[in-house]
Amino acid sequence: MRTLSPLTLAAALAATLLMTACDDGKSADGDAKTAGRPAGSACAIGDMGVEVAAGAAPAAGDTGTVTVTLTNKGAQCTLKGFPGVDLLADDSTTSVSPDEGAKAQSLTLGKGGTTSFTITYVRGEAGSPKSLPVRKASFTLPGATTDAHTLTWSYGEVARRDGAGGAAQASVSGFESSGD
């Protein structure tokens, strides 16, 4: 049986460590922008493709939906909680609460994985003080409250709870699994 000297063993170990420490600046999926983010960490909006589909409320008092579909273009990541949604009017911003009874879940998205969430709202009467003249909606992902995606709101005014000055009659669903 052949034995290695302590010096030979140390050199072999050092060479192995050097080879495993080499990095080309890319993550395991080959994407340089996600290289510093460990797989399975919180999803970042900059790594997501965003598509919006709406079932707009046709008249005041009707309920409409805006579904946002996200496609992960980066490394595997995790969504834990609810999306943060704000409705922005010319002079005010209103945060949207999660659907009543909705439970936050943890969802892991691999590269190319998709998920969606839905904003449900009651259309308000145009020009009424009991309506919020929404111009944009902004959303963030859990764990990334400063990195927001903004979309143009073209679905009419949103009714306010409790009349003028009240919060918007709107809610947001949790993330739904849409496939891999």
State pLDDT tens for residues 67-90.
Answer: 999 999 999 999 999 999 999 998
pLDDT bucket at 40, cuts 50 / 70 / 90: low
- Residue 8: pLDDT over 80: no
Question: In degrees, to the nearest 5, what angle opens at C-alpha 142 toward C-alphas 141 and 145?
Answer: 70
Whole-number average pLDDT of the chain: 80
Q: How many CA atoms lie within 13 A of 130 on its CB side?
A: 9
pLDDT at 101: 87
Please state, as a whole number, how many other Cβ atoms lie within 10 Å of the Cβ of residue 119. Answer: 26
Closest CA to 122 of 180, 61, 65: 61
Between 25 and 98, residue with greater pLDDT: 98
Place of tokens 């009017």: 89
pLDDT tens-digit readout, 92-149: 899 999 999 888 889 999 999 999 999 999 999 999 999 999 999 999 999 876 789 9
For residue 99, the model assigns a pLDDT of: 94
pLDDT at residue 108 in the model: 94
3-state secondary structure the chain: CCCCCHHHHHHHHHHHHHHHHCCCCCCCCCCHHHCCCCCCEECCHHHEEEEEEEECCCCCCCEEEEEEEEEECCCCEEEECCCEEEEEECCCEEEEEECCCCCCCEEEECCCCEEEEEEEEEECCCCCCCEECEEEEEEEECCEEEEEEEEECCCCCEEECCCCCCCECEEECCCEECCC
- State pTM to two decimals: 0.75
Which strands make up the sheet holding 41-42, listed edge to edge? 41-42, 77-80, 106-109
pLDDT for residue 166: 79
